[in-house]
Structure 1
Amino acid sequence: MAAPIILCDCTGMDNDRWLECRAHGPKGDIEYTVGGSDVATIFGLSPWTTPLELWMIKKGRMKPKTPPNPDQLAMGHMLEPIAAHFYARRTGNLVSEDNHLYQHAHFPYALANIDRRYTRKEDGEPGILECKSLTYHKAEDWADGAYPAYYELQLRYYLAVLDIKYGAFSALWGNNPDHDLATPHLIRDTAKEDIIFEKLDRWIWSLRNDKPPTMADVKPKLAIESLAKIYGASLKGLPTVEFPKKFEPHLRKIAELQAKNTALGKEIKKNEEDIEAHSVRVAELMKQHEHGILTTSTDRLLIDFVTKTTRRVNSDYLKKTYPAIYEESLHTSESRKVKVSIQPA
């Protein structure tokens, strides 16, 4: 183990300069770097970015995507001091700011900006605190001392870079810190660090040798979305791609499942028509009533016939009456979906 190298103090840096330092170091002399938020992506565990997307960004072949929720990110940054404050109150540990950019003593590509430091009240040992804010539906990920794997990788990476034994999270999801705050701790594990840095070494090698990663370990929905961002819209006039034989099982499975979905769609449509036919006599009896009931010897059948009001913009009226506003209101989106058809030979 060895103490990290302090590359610079990021206090007062504008965002562009901070991104430059993170990408290539403050002197611009580090060819490729890894930051804490990159680690989970490289392992294929990030819910937001794929390894190939990150690889393309690191190679300068793709610009970093604009966050779809900049206000949420800004709020998360603003909530960091609050999460740190209530972590300190709950644990009694002394929390302090640390705005330095660190470099691992033995892996020059490994850089780290941490959220906070803390000092343990029981023994004065230092620790690294990561502050997270989240929505209520993510709170279960933090139940009973648990934490998401992608955040664990980030914190273990920071412990390695800064050569510190203890780490903790302060995860906030509401306005009652007694119930809406999780503060799990973890202890440095060098065996896990070896796995992390072996993976990161291979990642840096892939960048230097122009060997892009595959989507093998990425969740399919995220992989498809990422590929659409990387390669953009389809282009007319390009030659037809000849697939090798090894793709046959995948292509046949797609065709089979798409055929099933088509059949299910037809069945659902027929069922809806039958439901409407059976509903006519029921509606006649209900008239203006919202609820009905039929009691049998074994159960009760509860009937609802409630008016629901839906308000939608009349696009035809808007286009005819206010054409300029109509044009400004149009939102263009692009998507691509694989479809497989089978033709007899």
Structure 2
Amino acid sequence: MVRPVVSPGSEASTRPRPPLRLVKTQDLDRDQWLQVRKGGIGSSDAAAAVGLNPYQSQLELWMEKTGRAPPAPPRDESEDDLSPMYWGSLLEPIVAAHYSRRTGNRVRRINAVLQHPDYPWMRANIDREVMGAADVQLLECKTAGIQGAWLWRDGVPEYVQLQVQHQLAVTGKRAADVAVLLGGQELQVFRVERDEELIAQLIVLEREFWGFVEHDQQPPADGSESADRALRALYPRDAGTTLDLRQDLVMGAVFSDLVAVREVLATHTALEAQLKQSIQQRMGDASRAVFNGGEVSFKRSKDGSTLDTTRLAKEQPEIVRAYTVPKPGSRRFLVQI
């Protein structure tokens, strides 16, 4: 059960104190900025810190905060334009300007990393501050490409809501607008009101995550691709040793569950193949079959071409040697019973 961070009748619950200005951002270079980020949980980290970011796990965020993440490649303007973050930064002023034009609200940059007055690890970098509006104080600017626009069809995605609630917690403000540019041509504006109960839960869960960072203890893996990347980065090679876990009751139960789940998956995979083949057999050379509940297609892909590497190695071995590059191995997880 989540414990409230402040008692309902306390002064802090009714009159949040203003945030501290930790550091100005105008003169920070990239390395300094990354160092500041490592020192606390920023608003963009909030969802990952509580295990609700679809793109980053707690384990991968923990690697960043403890300095274990692989160093980011240096910025290259010729390659950055393939990154959503590049376009988000480039279009942020445009999104802010069109937000002001649509709503009439004036906005300005804060140019500082803000810190919660009570929780030093809780930090925020605000896109814009809304000036002179009684009903909203912060602006978060977002961009979503064609492939990511569906995330916004029901409003602000959960991980963005957590980011904004984190900002409201740090600043003590009452509401924020989220302006998102969808597909480069449609601007939508959503209002996010301060939620005291959610903020209390957020603080408890973020503090729990920051405990993992402070004690240099890994948070549990969550089964995501992000956690898989983190584990492969943490342990890229095996040492050739054997770990005896026969007396470890917890891991023994985990192994038993893994075996049972794999048996269920194998059964369902075989059943899926049989059902699919039954439909393929009935379709024959038809391209499409229609059912009351949906449809399937069974079409031949376009002819392609492939390189005959065996023949090339035999007839032109010097070319193969000249263009062969080493490929690092990866660890494989195999189960034997």
Report the TM-score when normalising by structure 2.
0.75
Check conservation: 1:251, 1:340, Cα contact below 8 A: no
Amino acid at match of 2:91: L
Residue 149 of structure 1: aligned partner: 158
Residue 172 of structure 1: aligned partner: 181
Residue 308 of structure 1: aligned partner: 302
Residue 335 of structure 2: aligned partner: 340
Deviation at 1:227, TM superposition (A): 2.2
2:54 & 2:307 partners in 1: Cα distance?
A: 34
Amino acid at match of 1:250: D
Alignment equivalent of 1:117, drawn from 120, 129, 132: 129
Alignment equivalent of 1:10, drawn from 25, 28, 31: 25
Q: How does 1:284-323 map to 2 (within 5 A)?
A: 308-316=302-310, 319=313, 321=316, 322-323=319-320
**Percent same amino acid at aligned positions?**
28
Please tell me whether Structure 1 or Structure 2 has the larger radius of gyration of its CA atoms.
1
Higher mean displacement: 155-164 or 243-252:
243-252
Alignment equivalent of 1:20, drawn from 9, 29, 35: 35
Q: Indicate the RMSD between aligned Cα atoms, in angstroms.
A: 3.6
For residue 256 of structure 1, give the secondary structure of its aligned residue in structure 2.
helix
Q: Alignment length, in residue pairs?
A: 301
Residue 238 of structure 1: aligned partner: 241
Alignment equivalent of 1:83, drawn from 79, 92, 95: 95
Unaligned runs of 5+ in 1: 25-32, 283-290, 294-302
Alignment equivalent of 1:129, drawn from 128, 139, 159: 139
Unaligned runs of 5+ in 2: 1-15, 289-296
1:17 & 1:175 partners in 2: Cα distance?
A: 32
Deviation at 1:124, TM superposition (A): 4.9
For residue 26 of structure 2, give the secondary structure of its aligned residue in structure 1.
coil
Check conservation: 2:149, 2:183, Cα contact below 8 A: no
Report the TM-score when normalising by structure 1.
0.73
Check conservation: 1:255, 1:339, Cα contact below 8 A: no
Deviation at 1:134, TM superposition (A): 1.7
Alignment equivalent of 2:86, drawn from 66, 74, 77: 74
2:335 & 2:29 partners in 1: Cα distance?
A: 49
Deviations 1:76-125 (A, max 9, x none): 211111221222222221122221111111111222111122236xx456
Deviation at 1:315, TM superposition (A): 3.6
Residue 199 of structure 1: aligned partner: 205
Deviations 1:271-290 (A, max 9, x none): 79x959x96xx7xxxxxxxx
Deviations 1:294-315 (A, max 9, x none): xxxxxxxxx9987823244444
The alpha-carbon distance between structure 1 residues 335 and 114, as it changes in their structure 2 partners (threshold 3 A), is farther
Amino acid at match of 1:154: Q
Alignment equivalent of 2:172, drawn from 153, 163, 170: 163
1:214 & 1:292 partners in 2: Cα distance?
A: 46
Deviation at 1:340, TM superposition (A): 2.9
2:180 & 2:299 partners in 1: Cα distance?
A: 44
For residue 39 of structure 1, give the secondary structure of its aligned residue in structure 2.
helix
The alpha-carbon distance between structure 1 residues 166 and 304, as it changes in their structure 2 partners (threshold 3 A), is closer
1:261 & 1:241 partners in 2: Cα distance?
A: 32
2:287 & 2:235 partners in 1: Cα distance?
A: 55
Amino acid at match of 1:229: A
The alpha-carbon distance between structure 1 residues 80 and 311, as it changes in their structure 2 partners (threshold 3 A), is farther
The alpha-carbon distance between structure 1 residues 323 and 172, as it changes in their structure 2 partners (threshold 3 A), is same
Alignment equivalent of 1:140, drawn from 141, 145, 150: 150
